[in-house]
Amino acid sequence: MENGDFNGTGTLIPEKRGFRPIYIWSIIYVVMTYIYPVLAVNALPHPDASITSQEQYDEFARQSNGGLGSNLVFVFLLIPLLLAIINIVICATSKNVNRREMLIAARITKYALIPFYIMGGMLIVIFFLLIFTPIVFMIFVSPPAIAFLSVMGWISMAGTAPMLIAFLVKGVKDGAHGKAYAIGMSVTQYFFGLDVVGLIVCAVKERVKK
């Protein structure tokens, strides 16, 4: 459709110009995704060179974070999970948002988070290399940090998937996309790198169609 697309009841939703509420949510999602890892890093125990064994590190972590010890950092994974759930609800109930507006929201989120994933990947490499340094306590700090960064990155990426999937679903309903194409592009949203490639393909196809 050139001037909008249809919602589930067959009513044409006009394509509106300007800043839409769904874009505000995209920005909130991005800002929160950049903030919560900082909070998690602050919760990670920061021992000194006197820590030379796993038992000493565990005791230091319990003194710093209470009963959860070094596992406190994983509590912060509830934040991206919550963001993902909210995103699913918003995308599933946004019947008055046409597919191109949903595509723009997906682009805002995905493109803005590219530096986030690059920084996360670099940190994983750094923590991995620190395991082999003479700094003994990094043997205990690096593994949970790597695990947290890996899980955090995937959840944050998967949490953005509902936006593009909602765009594809709307496209299938109004006949702009085939089901096989929609399923294939949806699957790409759960793999690093492919998610951005899938988004670019969708954006180019939509631009050509328009």
pLDDT tens track for 36-62: 888 877 776 666 666 666 677 767 767
Q: Are the C-beta atoms of residues 164 and 186 closer than 8 Å to each other?
A: yes
Q: Which residue, chain included where needed, has tokens 């899938």?
A: 198
Enumerate the domain spans of the chain.
Answer: 20-40+66-209
pLDDT at 22: 92
- Could you tell me the pTM of the whole model? 0.77
pLDDT digits (tens, 9 = 90+) for 66-112: 666 666 667 778 889 999 999 999 999 988 899 999 999 999 999 99
| Residues facing residue 13 across a β-bridge | 5
Count other Cβ atoms within 10 Å, centred on residue 71: 13
Question: What 3-state DSSP class applies to 77?
Answer: coil
Cα-Cα-Cα-Cα dihedral sign, residues 198, 109, 174, 2:
negative
pLDDT for 131: 84
DSSP-derived 3-state class of residue 48: coil
Integer Cα distance of 46 and 37 in angstroms = 16
